[in-house]
Amino acid sequence: MTSILPAEIPKLAADAIVISVHPKPDEGEWLLGPNAEQINQLTGGLVKRLIEESEIVTSPLSCTRILEPAGLRAKSLLVVGLGKPSEASPGLAFRAAAAAAKALATKQRRRVLMALDVEPQDEVVAGVFVGSTGQDLYRQQRKLFPITAPLIVDGDPKALERGEVLGQAINLTRRLVNAPPNEIFPASFADICVEQGTTCGFDVEVWDRARLEQERCRSLLAVAQGSANEPRLVIMCYQGAPADHATIGLIGKGVTFDSGGLSLKPSESMLDMKCDMAGAATVLGAMTALARLQIPANVIGLVGLVENMVSSTSYRLGDIVVARNGKTIEVHNTDAEGRMVLADVLDVARERGAQRLIDLATLTGACMVALGRNVAGGMTNDESWYADIAAAARQCGEPLWQLPMFPEYSEQIRSAVADIKNVGDGRWGGAITAAKFLEEFVGGQPWVHLDIAGPAFSEKGSAWLDAGASGCFVRTLVQAIENQA
């Protein structure tokens, strides 16, 4: 990435220049930001004239392209609409830049100047990386061409670096989730964790089946026992602060493919189950960003990696499983497998010294029924810790809504023959009863559970993001930990 001065804009031979505009206020004149006003003057008032003639759409995230604008050496000028000035936020900066980048990424463009009048710059840069990158990993004819070296007006080097790191971390998460299950399975995911640790600067420990058995991770192993692909548990350690500082634990569900097991999913529900490891991919993406940015914090990231498959060795309805912390679990549904995996991983995180926990999982369809496809559900045993995570999510513009954790929900997971069962009583409150199940394994540590089943993966794209994996909550995790540092 390169920073240019405003005075250099008239001389810049770019493939495209991107500016931003707000909707017209109810009263008064159009107000253009400094970069947009400079472009307007260089083009002889073209920008303002086209806005007044409604040729430029100013609604949020709308994009209007002007080809070969007079007064500029750029091949095209792209105008992206913003919300009202009072609605400015880092999340809007991210999405506006992503929308512009997506609109321009339909062909290869080498020199793109992002002259948006929005802040902060790191969110703009991250948005460019994310919006211009699609899910077409295996197409011979690409639909989107990544913009990997945007130009920024008056760019701050630290902000540009941070934006690039965040964008690449999000895209790593998206690539892993978008990749097919014959490429991303427990062992290959673990190998990628090792590679990223070496590249980015954090330690990685991998537990294979023998170590998992030795560590009594029987709940995780029960889910994995129907698959020919061996399970893994990966422990990633980043120490950016002195050893006596608190350690934050990030825990991710890594079901690399979920058939539902003996509680078999129908085909239409199974097609996108490569995405059931989005929680683990989010943890890995966040770990790479934390290490590359050298955030002064101590973080341990743990991902439980399994396939949930159907075979003669699959775990069964009615099985009793003894989890790592000694609790007995009666299996009522083999498709409620993510919580079985997380049960043991949470216990390992607690034992490894994590004093505050955040887990992320595409855990329940019930959360999507409650909140829709674009909002994550948050549940906690510690309101103060949850408030910190929610504040970071608001900073990043990633929608999160808290669901209640009343003690009565715990009664729904009590089993007549074991300590607990892996589903609640019927379909009601399914996202919450899943969280109450997980709460049994956090040992009383401050803990936040993020059910990202809705926003982690989408069959339809948006103005600012291609369909498929979103990489949601990578930014929130980094922001939350940075806020604690």
Percent of the chain with pLDDT over 90: 93
Rounded to 5 degrees, φ, ψ at 299 are -135, 135
Specify the pLDDT at position 85: 84
245 and 154 in a single domain? The answer is no
Q: Which is catalytic among the residues 65, 209, 265, 394?
A: 265
Specify the pLDDT at position 288: 98
Specify the pLDDT at position 426: 84
Percent of the chain with pLDDT over 70: 99
218 and 356 in a single domain? The answer is yes
Tokens 């936040």 — which residue? 448
In which band, very low, low, confident or very high, does the pLDDT at 30 lie, cut at 50, 70 and 90?
low
48 and 119 in a single domain? The answer is yes
Q: DSSP of 263-296, one letter per residue?
A: SPPPHHHHTTGGGGGHHHHHHHHHHHHHHHHT-S
369 and 431 in a single domain? The answer is yes
**Known active-site residue 48:** no
Mean per-residue pLDDT for 63-85? 94
387 and 461 in a single domain? The answer is yes
Q: DSSP of 189-212, one letter per residue?
A: HHHHHHHHHHHHT-EEEEE-HHHH
CA dihedral 219, 222, 228, 229 (to 10 degrees): -10
Strand-pair category, 447-451 with 376-380 = antiparallel
In which band, very low, low, confident or very high, does the pLDDT at 106 lie, cut at 50, 70 and 90?
very high
Distance separating alpha carbons of residues 36 and 457, to the nearest angstrom: 34
Tally of domains within the chain: 2
71 and 109 in a single domain? The answer is yes
Distance separating alpha carbons of residues 161 and 159, to the nearest angstrom: 5
251 and 397 in a single domain? The answer is yes
Residue pair 335/255 in contact (Cβ under 8 Å)? The answer is no
In which band, very low, low, confident or very high, does the pLDDT at 26 lie, cut at 50, 70 and 90?
low
335 and 435 in a single domain? The answer is yes
Mean per-residue pLDDT for 213-226? 98
**Known active-site residue 339:** yes
- Collapsing DSSP to helix, strand or coil, 482 comes out as helix
Q: Which is catalytic among the residues 339, 350, 421, 475?
A: 339
CA angle 435-438-442, nearest 5°? Answer: 125
122 and 178 in a single domain? The answer is no
User: Which residues, other chains included, contact 301 with Cβ-Cβ below 8 Å and sequence gap of 6+?
Assistant: 235, 236, 237, 238, 249, 250, 251, 252, 283, 284, 286, 287
Specify the pLDDT at position 27: 54
Q: pLDDT tens digit string along 417-441?
A: 999 999 999 889 999 999 999 999 9
Residue after which a domain boundary falls, among 160, 193, 212:
160
Q: How deeply is 157 buried, as exposed, middle or buried, from its count of CB atoms within 10 A (0-12, 13-18, 19+)? A: exposed
CA dihedral 422, 428, 430, 436 (to 10 degrees): -70
Asked whether the predicted pLDDT for residue 1 surpasses 80, the reply is: no
Specify the pLDDT at position 84: 83
Q: pLDDT tens digit string along 273-307?
A: 999 999 999 999 999 999 999 999 999 999 999 99
Q: What is the domain-level CATH number for residue 404?
A: 3.40.630.10
Residue after which a domain boundary falls, among 128, 160, 192:
160
Specify the pLDDT at position 28: 54
Mean per-residue pLDDT for 226-236? 98
Mean per-residue pLDDT for 191-195? 98
Specify the pLDDT at position 127: 98
Tokens 């496809």 — which residue? 373
Specify the pLDDT at position 29: 59
Q: Which residues of 315-325 are buried (b: 16+ CB within 10 A; e: fewer)?
A: beeeeebebbb
Q: Which amino acid is at 219?
A: S
Asked whether the predicted pLDDT for residue 18 surpasses 60, the reply is: yes
Residue pair 226/306 in contact (Cβ under 8 Å)? The answer is no
Q: How deeply is 442 buried, as exposed, middle or buried, from its count of CB atoms within 10 A (0-12, 13-18, 19+)? A: buried
324 and 452 in a single domain? The answer is yes
Mean pLDDT of the chain: 96
Handedness of CA 269, 272, 274, 279 (dihedral sign): negative
176 and 314 in a single domain? The answer is yes
User: Which residues, other chains included, contact 306 with Cβ-Cβ below 8 Å and sequence gap of 6+?
Assistant: 186, 220, 223, 224, 227, 231, 254, 255, 256, 337, 341
Q: DSSP of 367-381, one letter per residue?
A: HHHHH-SS-EEEEES
Residue after which a domain boundary falls, among 129, 160, 191:
160
Taking the alpha carbons at both ends of the chain, their separation in whole angstroms is 27
Q: What is the domain-level CATH number for residue 55?
A: 3.40.220.10
185 and 131 in a single domain? The answer is no
Domain span holding position 114: 2-160
Distance separating alpha carbons of residues 406 and 473, to the nearest angstrom: 25
Asked whether the predicted pLDDT for residue 138 surpasses 60, the reply is: yes
